[in-house]
Structure 1
Amino acid sequence: MTTTPTLQPGSDQRSQAAADDTEGTRGAWLVVMRREIVVRALNKAFLVGLLVSVAIIAALAAFFAWQGSQTDSFTVAVGENDAAATASVTSAASVADAQGGGTELTTLEVADADAARTALADGDADAWLHPADGGDGWVLTGQGDPDGSLTQLVTAGVEQQNLESNAEAAGTSVAELTAGASLTTDQIDGGAVDSQTLFFASFALALLFFIGVIGAGQMIAGSVVEEKQSRLVEIMATAVPLRQLLVGKILGSSVVALAQNVVFAGVGLVALSFTPTSAILPALSASLLWFVLFFAVGFLGLAALYAVAGALASRAEDLQHTTTPMTMAVMGVYFMTFSASGAFETVLSYVPVANVVSMPVRVLSGDTLWWEPIVSLLILLAFTAVAVLVGERAYRGALLQTGGRISWKRALAASA
C-alpha cells in the first residue's frame, strides 16, 4: 500500500520554483541577455538612429574642421595719398597674423570719399578708414555696421600707428615708450584644461549620458510592457524565474547602451583629431575612460528602475506616466551637470547618478585627487546595488498584475 504525501497549500508551487532553479534555469538570465542584445541590435529603428547619430557627430566635426581652416578676408578702402591710413591697416594686418592668421586684411586705394562710398555699395570694400572731421581721430565707415572683429583689428592698428607717429614726434621710439609693458602668460599646472574646453567636454558627456539612458531605458520599459500586454510574460515566467528574467534584461540592455556610447565616444575622438581642438585628446581620452566605467555601473541601476516602470504599466499607453519620473530625473542630471561649476560641480561629482558626468569632467580639469574618482565610484556602486534590489522586488510584484497602472507601493507589497 502506498501513501501519497500531503502538500501544504502553495508548497507544490514553491517546490516547483526550487526545482526550476536547480534544474537548468540558473543560466536562464544569459539566454535572456543574449535575446535582448540580438533583438536590440536587429531593431531597425535602433540601427537607423545609431547611424544617424554617428553621421551627425561626423558632420559636426567636419563642420568645425572646415570652419577652423577658414580665413576671414576684409578689404579696407583708404585714400590714395593717405599714408597714415594705409600704415594703420598694415599694422592691423600684423596684429591679425600675431593672433593666429585667421584674418587677412588688404587695402583698396580710392580717389575720394565718393569713390569709397561706391566701393562699399558695390561690395569691393568692407569698410573705409578715413580721418574724422577736424582731424581728431579716425572713422571706420561701412555700408552697414562694420564687422566687430574688423573693427577691433583696425582699432589696434590705428593705436599702433598713432603711437609710432607720436613717438617719432617726441624724439623717442615705440620700444622706449613701451619698455617693461610686455605681458606673457604662464600656468602652474601644465596639464590644466581651459574653461571653454571643460564646458564642451561636460556638454558632450552629459549628452552621451542623456542619449544612452533615455534611449536604452525607454527600450527596456517598452519591451517589458509589450511582453506583459501580450501575455507572453506569463508563459516566460513558467520557464524562467522572474529574477533571472530581470537580470537578463538589465545586462542585455546595459551591454547595448554601453556599446552605443563607446561607438559615439570613439567617433567623437576620431572626429576631434581633425579639428583645432585635437590638442586636448590625451586628457579627454582619460576622462572618457572614467565616463565609460561610471556609465556602465550607473546604468545597471537605472535599467532596473526602467524595467520596473515597464512592469508598472499594463498597456503601452501607460508608459508615459510610469516613465515620467525617470525621464525628469535624467533630464535634471543632464541640465545640471553640463552647466555646473565650482563647489556645486564638486558636490555633484559624489551624487549618484550625476557623478557619471561630473566626476569625469573634474578628472579632465585636473581638480581631483587620485582617490576621489574611486570613492565616487563606490558610492555609485552602492546606489546601483540598492536600485537593483528594490527594483527586483517591485518588478516581481508588478509584472504579472494587470488591470491598469500599478503603484510602487502595491508592487512592493505584492512581492513581500
Structure 2
Amino acid sequence: MRGSTETPAWLIVTQREIVARVMNKAYLFGLLVTILLIAGIAGFFAWQGQQVDSYDVAVTAGDEPAASAVERAAATLRESGADDELTAHEVPDAAAARAALEDESVDAWLSSGGQDGWTLSSWREPDQGLASLLTPVVEQVTVTEHAAALGTSFDRLAAGGDLVTERLDGDDVDPGVLQFASFALAFLFFMGSIGSGQMIASSVVEEKQSRLVEIIASAVPLRHVLAGKVLGNSVIALAQNVVLASVGLIGLALTDFKAAVPAMTASLGWFVVFFAVGFVAIASLYAMAGSLASRTEDLQGTTAPMAVLLMAVYLTTFGADGTLERVLSFVPVTSIVSMPVRVLSGDAGWWEPVVALVLLAAFALAVVLVSEKAYRRALLQTSGRVGWRQALRA
C-alpha cells in the first residue's frame, strides 16, 4: 500500500526529465555556445560604443580662420561631453601640410582659401565624421567674418534661428529598441520551444521503441508520465530563456541602449509568464507527436506540423506592428511574443496582458486535454505510425 509520504509519480518523472537534460552534454554545449554568442555580440557593441575617434588636423601658419574653426570644433566636442578628440597642428606652409598628410602624421588639412571657400584635404578619402563636425563651425566662422565686415555680429544675424526638437508620436521607447525586442523575444520563443519540444518527442519515441513505456505503464498512470515530461521540460525551457534573457540584459546595459534596460526588464517579465503558460501547450503537442511515432525515423513526419507552427509564429511576430501586432497580442501562442512587445512600447493597457494571458491559459488547457487523450491511446500502439485522428478514436 502506498504511504502518504510517497513521492507522486508525476514528480518523479519531472525530476528525471530535468536531470536527463542537465546531464545531456549536447544540450549543455549548445546552450553554452548560445550564451557565448549573445555575450560576444553584446561585447562587440559595447566595445564599439566605447571607441574614441581622435582627429589631428593641420592648419598652415597665418591661416587664422582655419585655426579658429578647429579650436571651435574642439570646444564643441568638449561641451557636448563626447569622448572624441580634435587637435590642431600648425604647419609652416601648404607643402608641409601635404607632407604631413602623406606620412600620416595628421588626418586632414583645413584651409580657409579666402574667396574660393574652404577645403578639407586628406591623403585618401576625407573622414565623413570629421567633415560633419567641421562643416557647421566653418559656416559659423565665415558668417562671423562677413557680419564684421557689415558692421554687425553673428549672434544678431542668427537670432531666432535656434532649432529645438520635439517628438509627437508619444512613444516612450525608440523604434529601434522595439524592433530589437521583437526579434529577441521571437528568437527566445522559437529556440526554447523547438529545442525543448524536440527533446520531449525524442524521449517519448525512444521509450516507446525500446518497449520501456510498457513497463512504465504497468506501474504509473500514463497521464502522470505525460505531466512529468511536460513539467520537467517546461522548467528547463523556462530556465534556459531566463539565462539567455539575463545575459542579453547585461549586454544591453553595456551599450548605448542602456536606458531601455528597465523597460526591457518589465517586458521580459511578462514574456517569462506568457512563455511558462504557453509552453505547456507546446510541450503537450510535442509529447503527442512523439507518441504517434513508432520509430525515431517517424519523428520528422509527426513533428513537422509543430515546426511549421513555431516558424510561423516566429516570422509573424518578428517585426509585426500596428493592427497586426494588436491582433497577434491576443491570439494564443503569438501573444507570447507580441503582448510583451506591446507592453514595452506602452501601447497596451493594464488589462490587456491579463486578458491575453487568460486566453492563452484556456487554450493551453484545451490543448493539454486533447493531447493527453491522444498520447495515452497512441503510446502503446507499436505496430506503426499512428495518425492523431486514429489515436483519438482508439
- The two structures have a TM-score, normalised by structure 1, of 0.85
Letter in 2 for 1:107: A
2: CA distance, partners of 1:290 / 1:358 = 11
Give 1:236's aligned residue.
216
Letter in 1 for 2:370: V
Structure 2: unaligned runs, 5 residues or longer: none
What is the CA-CA distance between 1:228 and the residue it aligns to?
Answer: 1.8
Give 2:104's aligned residue.
123
Does residue 1:254 correspond to 2:240, yes or no?
no
1:60-139 to 2 correspondence within 5 Å? 60-131=41-112, 135-139=115-119
Contact 2:35 2:247 in 1 (8 A): yes
Does residue 1:311 correspond to 2:291, yes or no?
yes
Classify 1:408/1:171 alpha carbon distance in 2 versus 1 (closer, same or farther; 3 Å): farther
Deviates more, 1:36-45 or 1:287-296: 36-45
Letter in 1 for 2:271: F
1:266 paired residue among 222, 229, 246: 246
2: CA distance, partners of 1:189 / 1:359 = 20
Classify 1:119/1:233 alpha carbon distance in 2 versus 1 (closer, same or farther; 3 Å): farther
Contact 1:91 1:161 in 2 (8 A): no
Give 2:19's aligned residue.
38
SS in 1 for 2:131: helix
Runs of 4+ in 1 over 6 A off after TM superposition: 23-26, 188-191
Deviates more, 1:279-288 or 1:319-328: 319-328
Q: Describe the superposition over 1:54-108 as per-residue Cα deviations: whole angstroms up to 9, x where unpaired.
A: 3333333333333322211122233233222222233333444455414222223
2: CA distance, partners of 1:37 / 1:101 = 50
Contact 1:95 1:157 in 2 (8 A): no
2: CA distance, partners of 1:141 / 1:412 = 78
Does residue 1:385 correspond to 2:360, yes or no?
no
**Superposition CA RMSD, Å:** 2.9
What is the CA-CA distance between 1:374 and the residue it aligns to?
Answer: 0.7
1:340-355 to 2 correspondence within 5 Å? 340-355=320-335
Contact 2:63 2:112 in 1 (8 A): no
Give 1:3's aligned residue.
none
2: CA distance, partners of 1:197 / 1:312 = 42
Letter in 2 for 1:409: R
2: CA distance, partners of 1:404 / 1:127 = 76
2: CA distance, partners of 1:325 / 1:147 = 53
2: CA distance, partners of 1:317 / 1:330 = 21
Contact 1:95 1:153 in 2 (8 A): no
Give 2:35's aligned residue.
54
Classify 1:140/1:45 alpha carbon distance in 2 versus 1 (closer, same or farther; 3 Å): same
Deviates more, 1:47-56 or 1:348-357: 47-56
Give 1:411's aligned residue.
391
Classify 1:395/1:72 alpha carbon distance in 2 versus 1 (closer, same or farther; 3 Å): same
Contact 1:300 1:384 in 2 (8 A): yes
2: CA distance, partners of 1:403 / 1:126 = 77
Contact 2:65 2:112 in 1 (8 A): no
2: CA distance, partners of 1:197 / 1:116 = 44
Does residue 1:215 correspond to 2:199, yes or no?
no
1: CA distance, partners of 2:147 / 2:391 = 85
Size of the aligned set, in residue pairs, is 393
Structure 1: unaligned runs, 5 residues or longer: 1-18
